[in-house]
Homo-oligomer: A and B are copies of this chain.
Amino acid sequence: MNYREMAKQVKAAGRILGASEETLRNGALLAIADALIGSKEMIFAANAKDLAAADGLPAPVRGRLKFDEHKLSDVVSGLRSLAGLPDPVSKILFERELDEDLVLQRVTCPIGVIGVIFESRPDALVQISGLCIKSGNGAILKGGSEAKETNRALFTVIDEAGRAAGLPAHFAALVEDRAGVDELIRCHEEIDLLIPRGSNAFVRYIMDNSEIPVMGHAAGICHVYVDKDADLDKAIPIIVDAKTQYPAACNAAETLLLHEDIADEVMRRLEGAAPVEVTYIEARGEEDFTEYLDYKMTVKRVGGVDEAIEHINRYGSHHTDAIVTENEETAERFLTLVDSAGVYHNASTRFADGFRYGFGAEVGISTGKLPPRGPVGLDGLVTYKYKLRGSGHIVRDYAEGKRSFHFRERS
């Protein structure tokens, strides 16, 4: 397999897809949803092969690998709701008349080709394909090798149903071997954005070894800071929720910062407060400021909000951090000075999620500084271009003072 050639094909197809009508893309999403239901026996049979081969793997891995009626129904309703969302492409972000008959528009357009490398969850393949079709991007998909048979079955259904519904050939491509990843991350002429999902080490590897822009997060070290002016009736449920509601998520809290004045009382009230047992580890040093993804939490006592802010900016991962306080001024200081994608006042870090933010669909969560930052919805899969329409306008006329700009906003 020549991966660069594959990427070129997807790039060419992506241009056609990106220029296609909204109705064509939405129709394809609905047709794919139907085709998945129609081919479910073939897909389940492929999944049985993957599950058989994964016999010795841990239960959570097998759980993610499993593709059954329940997951099929989830991805099908995901595709159908995607078809109903507003078109992210060709939205006019602003329109300005620069001069008579000279009109500038900033218009959204697809990014081009998106390479997504994801864990062994076959449902992710369907979700990502759907997001790319909706946003008019070509997709190169590399799934976890444990899900190989299921991924191939799902991809075949999506590819055939998509093309039958009018999408251009090569609107998406499937990469099956690990060696392909190292080839693909070098295709910076063809691939415009990489979205790696999976372990922190893997995401870091991609970020360090590719010139292609990467959207994602390598770590999720989120904090809850409980201020001296906190209402502990809010603080305790927030800490428990941020740690235990789903500890494997990147937006679960890992470090608890306690103002020294209320630290002992918080620790006392935390005892038995969670529905599961949580191990609280008093911080000894830097090695404790880590991501557990488990019912463990580092506790550090601080002298005040400024020490908390400094700690978070130094040891955090710029993901999501919360303060619990009744003091508005302290809260605003925290929200302004903490340098993270999400800064929360009196709310659990677990809200950091595209669906909870009301985006309708989530591409992922980005901890980079430049947009898109934080939970990324469909609007993170488009970029923009400037369209300028004139009637023979030239710059010399303006440079020589014969004409001048009047800059009238139209929207």
Q: Residues of A with Cβ closer than 8 Å to B?
A: 15, 18-19, 96, 98, 102, 104, 109, 111-112, 192-193, 207-208, 211, 213, 231, 233-234, 237-238, 240-241, 245-246, 313, 331, 335-337, 339-348, 350-352, 356-358, 368-371, 373-375, 383-396, 398-399, 405, 407
Q: Are the CB atoms of B395 and A371 closer together than 8 Å?
A: no
Complex-state Cα separation, A384 to B369, whole angstroms: 8
Extra pairs beyond A213-B368, A357-B386 (19, CB < 8 Å):
A19-B336, A193-B370, A213-B213, A234-B392, A237-B394, A241-B394, A245-B394, A341-B385, A341-B386, A343-B386, A344-B387, A345-B388, A346-B391, A347-B392, A347-B393, A348-B393, A348-B394, A358-B407, A369-B383
CA separation between A342 and B388, bound complex, in Å? 7
If A368-B213, A373-B383 touch, does A347 touch B389 (CB 8 Å cutoff)?
Answer: yes
Please give me the residue from chain B that is nearest to A241 by CB atom. Answer: B394
CA of A350 to CA of B192, assembled, Å? 26
Bound: A393/B344 CA distance, A: 11
**Among A234, A331, A389, A392, which residue has the most Cβ atoms of chain B within 10 A?**
A392
Q: How many copies of the polypeptide does the oligomer hold?
A: 2
Query: Which residue of chain B is the closest to A392 with respect to CB atoms?
Result: B234
| Top-9 shortest CB links A-B | A347-B390, A234-B392, A241-B394, A350-B395, A358-B407, A192-B369, A344-B388, A347-B393, A345-B389
Residue of A339, A342, A394, A395 with most partner-chain B CB within 10 A: A395
Please tell me which one of the listed residues B343, B346, B370 contacts residue A392 in the complex, with CB atoms under 8 A apart.
B346
Which B residue sits closest to A368, measured CB to CB?
B213
Q: Which residue of B lies closest to A348 (CB)?
A: B394
Given contacts A347-B388, A383-B371, contact A15 B313 (CB under 8 A): yes
* Interchain nearest-CB distance for A63 vs B (Å): 18
Chain B residues whose CB sits within 8 angstroms of the CB of A399 once the complex forms: 245
Judging by beta carbons under 8 Å apart, are B347 and A111 in contact? Answer: no
| Contact in complex: A392, B102 (CB < 8 Å) | no
Q: Which residues from chain B contact A348 at a C-beta distance below 8 Å? A: 393-395
